[in-house]
Amino acid sequence: MSTPSPWRPPPPHIAIVGGGLAGLAAASILVGRNLRITLFEARPRLGGRASSFTDPASGELVDNCQHVSMACCTNLDDFCRRVGASHLFRREPAVVFLGLDGRLSRLQAGRLPAPFHLAGSFLKATYLTWPEKLRVAWGLACLRSKKGDRPGESFADWLLRHGQTVRTINLYWATVLVSALNERLDQMDVGHARKVFLDGFLRNRVGFQMEIPLAPLGELYGTRLEEWLAEKGVTVRLTTGVRTVDLDDEGSVAGLTLRSGETVAADFVVLAVPFDRVLALMPPALVARVPELAKIDALRASPITGVHLWFDRPVCPLDHVAIVGRLVQWVFNHTALQGRTATADGGQYLQLVISAAYDLLPLDNAAILDAVLAELSEIWPAVRDAKLVRSRVVTEHGATFAVRPGVDALRPPQRTPVDGLFLAGDWTDTGWPATMEGAVRSGYRAAEGVLADLGTPFHLVLPDLPAGRLARWLL
Ligand SMILES: Cc1cc2nc3c(=O)[nH]c(=O)nc-3n(C[C@H](O)[C@H](O)[C@H](O)COP(=O)(O)OP(=O)(O)OC[C@H]3O[C@@H](n4cnc5c(N)ncnc54)[C@H](O)[C@@H]3O)c2cc1C
């Protein structure tokens, strides 16, 4: 008679609520550690805000909006490598800007070490005059130090106090920051603006380089992730909304109640939902007693409009371009980037991005389309002769949390005072703005918390790119 194998307790159950990048990052880094992981996602697909929908007109996957990252996004990069998706990105060595005069300027690293590696190409840029470039350089030099910061001041006011003019603000600072932070300069936190320039552009020679996806988001962070997680033993429950996080009599996490009424026991819950959903999922008594949670209510959202245009012929000669001083901020040529055409015989598919799109909120999609087409016709006259085969305007009202002055004081840490309950999401305290990198960092930090509580602490969040020696000294 064989001896019965000794009883072992079942592995701890980690319930992750939300299948956006924060939840996916947490799940991806917790696999292989003898844990039972279930991911609950309300929608029928993974990816959250970085996802695609099926265009009824063509049956194709269409991104809710173009998503790009930068080489300084070390944790997003790690996540993509971990899940085997790194090869689905293209790194751009230069960022191309199109000035109001129609001339192109390329921002790329020259021979000088950081923080001067971009100086040569910046000085060659044609969208600013020489005195304006010197003014911008002075602004950047002042931005290094936090000393003169005034609490509650917007970045627009900071710029005016540091010698910037309406032209340098609109043509330079807004061009870089409005899309990077999805906020208007007159409502933007100074610390976040500083972070974009220091960490993104100045500290490291490659940090500014863009990573552009070569596949639809729905494939990158949706179907591929679903398969990867299933292979690693994660139970993914799509179309499964969570109604509440449940606590036991001692106030520790007990599990979840789903919208269907089903209850699920869990040892840990990682709540990785958008900030405006969190409080509704928490027991109200808990929110009243934990000030960090109550503060979430004061976070505000900022909108992004994405415009998809399918033309019967090529109209845009570039793969990507940042447009200076106009309504449309970025154009991405998906025919060049992803080989996707407008019709079976060819044509061109462009994705346009307008961040901090507050001014577009009162307009209907037809008016937005008219404004965008008028602008593109001025830039590329071929647009006037081309036939617009299809178009789609998608405005995400709550695209990201708004990086208003002092916003970081409202962002809670991932660890909550409740035993077993962790928060994740781009809006939690990561030091990063609302980005995929911020979302992944938050998921990794929540996972660090879970592992620490299980007695196996690990440092999972990767450091920033190393600063160059001169940059370290000067910045
Ligand atoms: C239009 C647009 C353009 C953007 N462009 C960029 C860009 O270029 N670069 C960049 O870095 N970032 C960009 N972002 C931001 C980026 O998409 C987000 O920072 C990131 O995807 C947030 O991930 P998350 O996991 O924190 O949240 P989310 O992606 O919002 O995921 C939360 C998930 O929780 C689910 N959920 C909510 N409630 C429940 C519930 N009760 N039960 C179960 N599930 C629930 C939601 O369905 C969702 O899938 C953009 C965002 C938008 C909207």
What angle, rounded to 10 degrees, do the helices at 74-82 and 436-453 form? 70
pLDDT of 278 over the 70 cut: yes
Name residue 213's beta-bridge partners. Answer: 89
Tens digit of each residue's pLDDT (9 = 90 or more) over 107-117: 999 999 999 99
Give residue 254's pLDDT band: very low, low, confident or very high (50, 70, 90). very high
383-406 burial: b if 16+ Cβ within 10 Å, else e: beebeebbbbbbbbeebbbbbbbe
Look up the pTM and report it.
0.97
Percentage of the chain surpassing pLDDT 90?
93
pLDDT at 288: 84
The ligand 1 atom nearest the CA atom of 281: 41
pLDDT of 2 over the 90 cut: no
Mean pLDDT score of the chain: 96
Residue that is written with structure tokens 């019965």 in the block: 4
pLDDT at 253: 96
pLDDT of 284 over the 90 cut: no
Tell me how far apart the alpha carbons of residues 269 and 283 are, in angstroms, rounded to a whole number: 14
**Average pLDDT score over residue span 147-169:** 97
Q: How many angstroms is it from 304 CA to the middle of ligand 1?
A: 13
Give residue 5's pLDDT band: very low, low, confident or very high (50, 70, 90). confident
Q: How many angstroms is it from 48 CA to the middle of ligand 1?
A: 4
Tell me how far apart the alpha carbons of residues 298 and 227 are, in angstroms, rounded to a whole number: 37
> Hey, which of 273, 360, 393, 414 would you mutate to test ligand 1's pocket, going by the most ligand atoms within 8 Å of its Cβ?
273
DSSP string computed for 293-307: HHGGGG--EEEEEEE
Cα 164 to Cα 172, 402, 406: the distances in Å are 10, 23, 22
Any ligand 1 atom below 6 A from CB of 274: yes
pLDDT at 344: 85
How far does the chain reach from its first CA to its final CA, in angstroms? 72
What are residue 90's phi and psi, to 5 degrees? -120, 130
Question: Nearest-CA neighbor of 17 among 257, 357, 305?
Answer: 257
Beta strands in 76-126 (DSSP E): 89-92, 94-98, 104-108
Instruction: Supply the Cα-derived Rg of the chain in whole angstroms.
Output: 23
Tell me how far apart the alpha carbons of residues 402 and 423 are, in angstroms, rounded to a whole number: 19
Q: How many angstroms is it from 257 CA to the middle of ligand 1?
A: 22
Tens digit of each residue's pLDDT (9 = 90 or more) over 322-368: 999 999 999 999 999 999 999 888 999 999 999 999 999 999 999 99
3-state helix, strand, coil in the chain (%, to 5): 35, 25, 40
Tell me how far apart the alpha carbons of residues 256 and 246 are, in angstroms, rounded to a whole number: 5
Any ligand 1 atom below 6 A from CB of 425: yes
Q: How many angstroms is it from 49 CA to the middle of ligand 1?
A: 3
pLDDT at 234: 98
pLDDT at 1: 58
Contact indicator for 273, 259 with CB cutoff of 8 Å: no
ω into 9 cis (within 30 of 0)? no
pLDDT of 289 over the 90 cut: no
